[in-house]
């Protein structure tokens, strides 16, 4: 350690000059941390896929007979009366159909764990900052801090900025461009497997993408639907979110389709 002496009046003040910490091993350490993070993300992705694929086409609770088709119809009728106009107002416009899969997945990610109103605030802010929610070149070039600020009006900006930046990086690295249109030609299982492989994207986003964008016969279960389905007795009390997703996807969709077919036959 080097020491330097200066004189102030009659006193001599001695300053310690500390050596800067070595950065020689930093790149190697950062690479190791990134590898660990990638490995952890892959492990989580595999866990989500394995948990879902166990019951992708077979019910986890085959003897649990609810909801019935009448219950499905009653629930739909009540929700249609209460919220039908709002849903049509929000999703009936041409620019809300999201036929571009990459854009639809970005919207699903922004909509995670919040209300649609908050998601819209975040997207309006992104439009102001970048010119579009889907200006991916500008988003990546602007960096994470700028994206966090843009997402702030919708809340949860730290996590969602990390999810979106990771998604843009991984899709570009995997496919050479920000394009997921190939998912239109994939099976439901292959779609879910790819979607949940992106960090921070779960089964709810995958099923929203399947249902809304890819027009598959799938039913998405978020936190609210999970809670309400428990209150209504539409799933076993001890069912986890993944099993509830599998149960309601099979039970609700099958009963709804059968009820609609029965109503159509009755009108012939």
SS (H, E, C) 144-178: HHHHHHHHHHHCCHHHHHHHHHHHHHHHHHHHCCC
Lowest mean pLDDT among 7-16, 174-183, 201-210: 7-16
Q: pLDDT tens digits, residue range 56-105?
A: 778 899 999 999 989 999 998 999 999 999 888 876 654 455 689 999 99
Cβ contacts of residue 89 below 8 Å, gap of 6+?
none
Task: Give mean pLDDT, residues 42-61.
Answer: 75
- pLDDT score for 39: 61
Q: pLDDT tens digits, residue range 110-158?
A: 999 999 899 999 999 999 999 999 999 999 999 999 999 999 999 999 9
Residue 46's pLDDT band, with cuts at 50, 70 and 90, is confident
Segments making up each domain of the chain, as ranges:
56-97+219-268
Instruction: Give the whole-angstrom CA distance, residue 79 versus residue 99.
Output: 26
Task: Give mean pLDDT, residues 5-17.
Answer: 43
Task: For the chain, give the mean pLDDT.
Answer: 82
- Better-scored residue on pLDDT, 191 or 94: 191
pTM: 0.76
């Amino acid at each position: 350690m080097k020491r330097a002496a200066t004189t102030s009046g009659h006193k001599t003040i001695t300053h310690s000059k500390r050596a800067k910490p070595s950065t020689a091993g930093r790149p190697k350490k950062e690479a190791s941390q990134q590898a660990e993070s990638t490995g952890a993300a892959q492990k989580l992705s595999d866990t989500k896929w394995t948990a879902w694929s166990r019951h992708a086409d077979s019910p986890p609770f085959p003897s649990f007979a609810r909801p019935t088709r009448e219950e499905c119809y009653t629930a739909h009728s009540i929700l249609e009366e209460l919220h039908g106009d709002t849903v049509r107002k929000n999703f009936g416009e041409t620019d809300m159909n999201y036929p571009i899969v990459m854009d639809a997945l970005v919207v699903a990610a922004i909509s995670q764990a919040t209300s649609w109103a908050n998601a819209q605030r975040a997207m309006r802010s992104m439009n102001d900052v970048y010119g579009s929610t889907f200006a991916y070149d500008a988003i990546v070039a602007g960096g994470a801090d700028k994206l966090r600020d843009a997402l702030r009006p919708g809340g949860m900006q730290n996590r969602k900025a990390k999810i979106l930046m990771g998604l843009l990086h991984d899709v570009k690295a995997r496919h050479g461009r920000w394009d997921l249109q190939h998912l239109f030609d994939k099976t439901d299982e292959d779609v879910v497997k790819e979607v949940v492989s992106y960090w921070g994207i779960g089964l709810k986003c995958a099923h929203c993408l399947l249902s809304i964008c890819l027009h598959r016969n799938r039913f998405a279960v978020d936190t609210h639907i999970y809670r309400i389905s428990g209150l209504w007795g539409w799933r076993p009390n001890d069912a986890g979110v993944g099993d509830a997703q599998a149960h309601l996807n099979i039970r609700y969709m099958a009963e709804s389709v059968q009820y609609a077919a029965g109503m159509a036959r009755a009108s012939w």
